[in-house]
Amino acid sequence: VGYHLNICECDPDDQPATEQECAMPQCPSHSSDHGGFLPNPDSRKKTVPAGRADRNRAGRLQSHQWRTGPWGACSSTCAGGFQRRVVVCQDENGYPANSCDESTQPIEQRSCESGPCPQWFYGSWGECSKSCGEGIKTRLVACQRPNGEHFNDLSCEILDKPPDREQCNTQSCSINPDWSTDQRSSVRS
């Protein structure tokens, strides 16, 4: 075992057969590219009573059926997008076929209403961080739907985003205020 010898050195009576008989099962009928059926080789030898051939063909057509894939993602996150899926006609072995009943074909596309588009919502400005000398005030700005469902900022029109901070109390602070009196004022009695 595992040695390679010249065929001349071997006993011809011990040589294994290079061919042997086998019994293969009959192949099933398949549809042709034009939607018809390829004849079974043995069917040429049989005679079929009138009317029965149509019933046999109808039985084969019933075994063809529509199959659908899963629905794809919605084309829009809001305001009425659509979803698609694959719909194919197949025979009983899963091969493509062209003879499914078109009146029963499942839909390939449907609308997917995922609600209104999110938009920018903002709260009131908070207090200034300083009473003078350039403070900052902030407010909450969020991308959300009217029902309060929050989204990533990129789901809203980013160029329309309202500011969430701004400067306040920009006047300079006085270090030592001078008190002065107006000498022109007088008191009348």
| pLDDT recorded at residue 16 | 61
Between 65 and 15, where is the model more confident? 65
CA distance 169 to 133: 6
Please check whether the two domains, 62-115 and 119-168, share a CATH topology: yes
Asked if the model's pLDDT at residue 62 lies above 90, the reply is no
Between 78 and 155, where is the model more confident? 155
Asked if the model's pLDDT at residue 155 lies above 60, the reply is yes
Give per-residue pLDDT as tens, 25-43: 555 554 444 444 444 444 3
Q: Worst-scoring range by mean pLDDT, 4-8, 20-24, 57-61?
A: 57-61
Between 41 and 140, where is the model more confident? 140
DSSP E strand boundaries for the chain: 65-68, 81-84, 87-90, 109-112, 119-122, 135-138, 141-144, 165-168
Calculate the average pLDDT of the chain.
75
| pLDDT recorded at residue 125 | 96
Q: Worst-scoring range by mean pLDDT, 12-26, 43-57, 148-162?
A: 43-57
| pLDDT recorded at residue 40 | 44
Asked if the model's pLDDT at residue 179 lies above 60, the reply is no
Asked if the model's pLDDT at residue 133 lies above 50, the reply is yes
Mean pLDDT of 13-27: 55
Between 29 and 88, where is the model more confident? 88
Answering whether pTM is above 0.85, one says no
Q: Worst-scoring range by mean pLDDT, 19-28, 72-81, 98-107?
A: 19-28
Spans of all domains in the chain: 62-115, 119-168
In this structure, whether the domain defined by 119-168 belongs to CATH 2.20.100 is answered with yes
Would you tell me how many other CB atoms lie within 10 Å of the CB of residue 91?
Answer: 21
Mean pLDDT of 3-12: 58
In this structure, whether the domain defined by 62-115 belongs to CATH 1.10.3470 is answered with no
Q: Are strands 141-144 and 165-168 parallel, antiparallel or unpaired?
A: unpaired
CA distance 38 to 101: 20
